[in-house]
Structure formats: structure tokens, C-alpha cells
Amino acid sequence: MAAKTLTIDGKQISAEENETVLQAATEAGIKIPTLCHLEGVYDVGACRLCIVEIAGTPKLLPACTTKVAEGMEVKTDSERLRKYRRMILELLFAERNHVCAVCVSNGHCELQALAYSLGMEHVRYDYTFPKWSVDTTHRLFGMDHNRCVLCTRCVRVCWHIEGAGTKNVSGRGAKSKIITDLNQSWGTSDSCTECGKCVMACPTGALFQKGSTVGEMERDRDKLEFIVTAREKKQWIAD
């Protein structure tokens, strides 16, 4: 496969031609903030946290879905990028009801971690306080839509690792919602195999194991990557 040469943050990097900017940066040890990205499943560019500056285009492009190109000059950190990343995070917090103090994922939450890393000590936008439901009809798991950031990790692991296709997205914009099968309660799903991959994948406290209380929900996301590596490369590598 042909190699492409590009610079990321002034560093000369060689990457395979089908790689994304995010992959190339990660291999070079350059960390770009991500939220919807999950090792093991394909990227969709849903959250926009991984936006980067690319010389020659005024648009900010998501590193996770932008392919590397010969001579590309990428900047992963700047005043402008930090401004927009913080804005995106604040909008995510304002769009649903993220009440950290009573959340199962408090202290183990990727949304919280991103907020801290970008110095978000308050949200400048008015909170919308929408009304969302909690689905606890499943025997083992629960789904709290108040805490969902619509990253679609659960949908992707359900379709492309487990192959069950139970989780889907309905609606548009801020009214989008993660649904089960034909928009029914999770407990009545015929397709759910109860594998729990969606729960492992969730970056916030939206999906949880029943019985877990504040701060108790810790996830084993490496397991997803392990399954995919084992399947695709026949390598059974676990830490």
C-alpha cells in the first residue's frame, strides 16, 4: 500500500494511504480529543470534538473521518480549535440533563473528562432541561436518554461487532433518540442478545448495568477492541 507523507503539528509523518488523520496522529503519539470515536468500530464524525485545521481549507474537518493526503499540513491544537471544542461540549451539556452528582458514571465519564481537559468550569448556554425517559424494562441493562450524547457508539457496536442490529437512531437534530428495534421498550426486544457491548461502549452514563448507583459504572472498552482484533487479525491480544 502506498505511503503518504504529511505534517501534523509540525511533525513529519508517514501514513498508509487509507488511514485517517486521527489514526496517523495516534500512531505518531499526537493526542486529539475524541468522543464518538471508539477503537474497534468504524468512525462517523458525529461529535465533531476531533476537528483539526488543515492548511488550504477554511473549514475545520473531523480527524476521524478525514483521510490523509500527500503534503497535508494538519494542526490539532490552536486557540480556534479549543474555542470550538469547548463550545461543542457546552452545547452537549445544555442539550440534555447531565446531572453529574446523581449519575452512575460520575468520575468515569468521557464527557466529564473532556470538559475538564478543555477547562469547562461552567456552561455559557442556557440549559434546555428537556423531558426524556429512562428505559429500565431490560432484565440486565438500563438506558437513560437524559445522559445520551448521540455518539452512536452503541448502535455501531450492536450492528458491527455483535451483528444483532437492536440499537438504532430515530428522529432528527436535538430530538434524535437511540431506539430499540422498532422504537419499543428494550425489555420487549426480540433481537437483543443481552451481550452488553452497547453498555461497554457508552461514553457517559446513558447505558448502564442495572443495580449500579452513583459513580459505580465502570466500563471495559478494551474488550471491544480485543474482540475485533481477534476476529479480523486472528490475534488474541489482551492486556
Please give the Cα distance from 73 to 137 (Å, whole number).
50
Unique residue bearing C-alpha cell 488550504: 56
Q: Pairing state of beta strands 167-170 and 73-75?
A: unpaired
Q: How far is the CB of 184 from other proteins (least distance, A)?
A: 23
Q: How far is the CB of 124 from other proteins (least distance, A)?
A: 8
One symbol per residue from 42 to 81: x for binding other proteins (CB under 8 A), - otherwise; what is it?
A: ----------------------------------------
Rg (CA), the chain: 19
159 makes contact with other proteins (CB under 8 A):
no
Which residue in 157, 181, 185 sits closest to 168, CA to CA?
181
At 42, which helix (H) or strand (E)? none
One symbol per residue from 115 to 144: x for binding other proteins (CB under 8 A), - otherwise; what is it?
A: xx--xxxxx--xx-xxxx------------
One symbol per residue from 186 to 215: x for binding other proteins (CB under 8 A), - otherwise; what is it?
A: ----------------------------xx
**Separation of first and last alpha carbons in the chain:** 29
Question: What nine digits make up the cell of 82?
Answer: 479549543
Residue numbers at the binding site for other proteins (CB under 8 A): 93, 97, 99-103, 106-107, 112, 115-116, 119-123, 126-127, 129-132, 146, 214-215
